[in-house]
Structure 1
Amino acid sequence: MCKGLATLPATCLKSAKDIKHKISFLLQKPEPHAAEAKEIKEKTANAAAKRVPDAAEVEKWKESFSHVMSSEKGRRVFTSFLKSEFSQENVDFWVACEEYKKSPASQRAPRAKQIYRQFVEADAPNEVNLDAATRETTRRGVEDAGPSCFDVAQKTIYTLMEKDSYRRFLKSQAMRNPGQRETGGSQDKKNCDWTRRALAGGA
């Protein structure tokens, strides 16, 4: 038969109070996974905000194609535009050539063959539009795997993008409203949806 709390030893009462305090503390403390999720969400939002170009940068893109290609954000938006035209291989090839030039000499030979097979040779998975003479010049250059073996082909594709795709890019909805916020109305949201995805690193 229970005789009440008074009959319990003092140590038992103290332990019970300690447990009560701990439970109260745990109930007030946010769950770790909820706090982590919030932190991840905030970091993602901050990262996306940093990728949105400001007006001055966008104006630079309008001045010349070189400003687009020298800007990480510019290349991201332009690449997404090329995806919409099914010609992303052009900018991918240009970027691959830039990275190749920075490769250590010991890695150039296998890397050169990889780029050639992916972008240059006839029926390559991501074949770029090169004339026969440029393709042959590039093939011979790849055999030596020098730092400039893709220069002619890269310049050809750069010029193609500058004179063709870039002109359409300037007239696109993306250039009129780059970084448009989602609160800007349903039509604006629809028009700039792919641009925001590009700025966020997706497509």
Structure 2
Amino acid sequence: MCRGLESLPLTCLERAKQLKTLFGSLLQKPNHGVMGHSKKSDARRLNVNEPLSWNESFEMLLSSHNGLCLFRAFLVSEFSEENIAFYLVCEDFKATKTPNLSAKAQKIYDEFICSEAPREVNLDHLTKAAVKDNVRCPDHSCFDLAQAKIYALMQKDCYPRFLKSPMYLDLLRKTKTG
């Protein structure tokens, strides 16, 4: 699966390769859908038009499991996978039911925000300072400002490059020539 802190970039790269193969095989089948299976055997319905929808909006790309996996693999290839990882871990954090968010918030801060973090995201000093203050007494919205900035960065910078990438264009070509 391509979500959360526990996933490895290799998993998404493998999924991206699998998607290219599955979408390519769609074109050789009479029906317009095929079931794709990840390593964990979770079935994802693939549709020949799915890759076309990803260029409609960044939200459409992120709302598609397959689109998200391909986008994440693209970010891995550009050495900026920490952006989508941070965005997704923030989404997970907001949905956390645990009453004590402190440990989870600190873990996210240590991994993505603090100086010299192993997966440090590109944030300005003021945003980092605000998040640092928020993590001292965390609530479900303590990363909202940083998450919004990373989302905007991906939407304005990474997403347009993804749409022009050989990875995506090749997939589109395969779906259009089918």
TM-score, L = length of structure 1: 0.62
Moved over 6 A (4+): none
The answer (yes or no) to whether the contact 2:51–2:172 under 8 Å persists in 1 is no
1:104 and 2:94 matched: no
Q: Deviations over 1:111-138 (max 9, x none)?
A: 0000000000111000000000000111
SS at match of 1:178: helix
Q: Which residue of 2 aligns with 1:131?
A: 124
Q: Which residue of 2 aligns with 1:92?
A: 85
Q: Which protein has the bigger strand share?
A: 2
Q: 2: distance between equivalents of 1:144 and 1:74? A: 35
1:47 and 2:47 matched: no
2:137 to 144, 159, 164: 144
Letter in 2 for 1:75: L
- Judged with a 3 Å threshold, the aligned counterparts in structure 2 of structure 1 residues 102 and 122 are, in CA distance, closer, same or farther, namely same
Q: Which residue of 1 aligns with 2:114?
A: 121
- Judged with a 3 Å threshold, the aligned counterparts in structure 2 of structure 1 residues 154 and 89 are, in CA distance, closer, same or farther, namely same
Letter in 2 for 1:80: A
Unaligned segments of structure 1, at least 5 residues:
1-44, 182-203
2:170 to 169, 177, 180: 177
Q: Deviations over 1:28-69 (max 9, x none)?
A: xxxxxxxxxxxxxxxxx9515955742322121101111111
Unaligned segments of structure 2, at least 5 residues:
1-34
The answer (yes or no) to whether the contact 2:52–2:172 under 8 Å persists in 1 is no
1:80 to 67, 73, 85: 73
Q: Deviations over 1:158-188 (max 9, x none)?
A: 000111111110011222233888xxxxxxx
Structure whose CA Rg is larger: 1
Q: 2: distance between equivalents of 1:101 and 1:86? A: 26
TM-score, L = length of structure 2: 0.71
Letter in 1 for 2:134: G
Could you say which structure has the greater relative contact order, defined with CA pairs below 8 angstroms and 6 or more residues apart? 2
Q: Which protein has the bigger helix share?
A: 1
Q: Which residue of 1 aligns with 2:60?
A: 67
Aligned residues: 137
The answer (yes or no) to whether the contact 1:53–1:179 under 8 Å persists in 2 is no
